[in-house]
């Protein structure tokens, strides 16, 4: 059974992320969305909230699940008996950083492959940061996040005011 791990910060999950998840779900038996419990960044949503938002968004995808991880991604991948990391590439600007991470992960865990999926052109301009910026400035972000989590993002912005 081929299991892929799709890692990220997901603060919050966007339509671009969900597009990658849906496509990965067709390519692998199981997809685990792995939310980094990053202590250095100051996220808008706690790691538990980010996992919950993803779970709401993937409710119709029976072979996908979401959880959070600490530490090295490759350790988490091994823990899940997986050999594949899936990443989405939006633009050339993503490439340098993703290439560096893929090479480092390969050095630490030669049995783990990083598979890049090119983002659907409709979503290539979306990022979690853009969603947070538009939402906090009162703009319409309904096309940028999964419908299931729109109200949660709105509420979080309201609470933060």
- Residues engaged in binding ligand PNS (CB under 6 A): 7-9, 36, 72-73, 101, 104-105
Kindly report the length of the chain: 161
Q: Strand (E) positions, the chain? A: 3-8, 30-36, 64-69, 84-89, 113-118
Shortest CB 90 distance to ligand PNS, Å? 11
Give the whole-angstrom CA distance, residue 4 versus residue 18: 15
Q: Say if residue 29 is preceded by a cis peptide, omega within 30 of 0.
A: no
Give the whole-angstrom CA distance, residue 37 versus residue 63: 23
Decide whether 113 or 138 has the Cβ nearer to ligand PNS.
113
β-pair partners for 117: 88
Give the whole-angstrom CA distance, residue 109 versus residue 107: 6
Indicate if 41 belongs to the active site.
yes
Decide whether 8 or 146 has the Cβ nearer to ligand PNS.
8
Nearest residue to ligand PNS, by Cβ distance, number only: 8
Decide whether 51 or 73 has the Cβ nearer to ligand PNS.
73
Residue with tokens 């950083």: 97
- φ, ψ of residue 41 in degrees (nearest 5): -75, 155
Decide whether 132 or 151 has the Cβ nearer to ligand PNS.
132
Shortest CB 109 distance to ligand PNS, Å? 10
Q: Which of 30, 50, 87, 90 is labelled catalytic?
A: 90
Shortest CB 15 distance to ligand PNS, Å? 15
Q: Which of 30, 87, 128, 132 is labelled catalytic?
A: 128
Shortest CB 125 distance to ligand PNS, Å? 16
Q: Which of 41, 107, 158, 161 is labelled catalytic?
A: 41
Give the whole-angstrom CA distance, residue 126 versus residue 111: 31
Indicate if 128 belongs to the active site.
yes
- Residues assigned a catalytic role: 17, 41, 90, 128
């Amino acid at each position: 059974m081929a299991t892929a791990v799709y890692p990220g910060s997901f603060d919050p999950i966007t339509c671009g992320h969900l597009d990658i998840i849906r496509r990965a779900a067709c390519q692998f038996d199981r997809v685990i969305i792995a939310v980094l419990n990053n202590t250095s960044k100051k996220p808008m949503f706690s790691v538990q909230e980010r996992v919950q938002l993803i779970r709401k968004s993937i409710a119709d995808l029976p072979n996908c699940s979401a959880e959070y991880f600490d530490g090295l991604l490759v350790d988490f991948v091994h823990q899940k008996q997986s050999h594949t990391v899936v990443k989405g590439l939006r633009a050339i600007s993503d490439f340098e950083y993703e290439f560096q991470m893929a090479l480092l992960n390969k050095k630490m865990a030669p049995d783990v492959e990083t598979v890049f999926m090119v983002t659907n052109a409709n979503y290539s301009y979306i990022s979690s940061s853009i969603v947070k910026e538009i939402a906090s400035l009162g703009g319409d972000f309904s096309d940028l996040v999964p419908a299931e989590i729109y109200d949660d993002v709105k509420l979080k912005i309201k609470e933060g005011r």
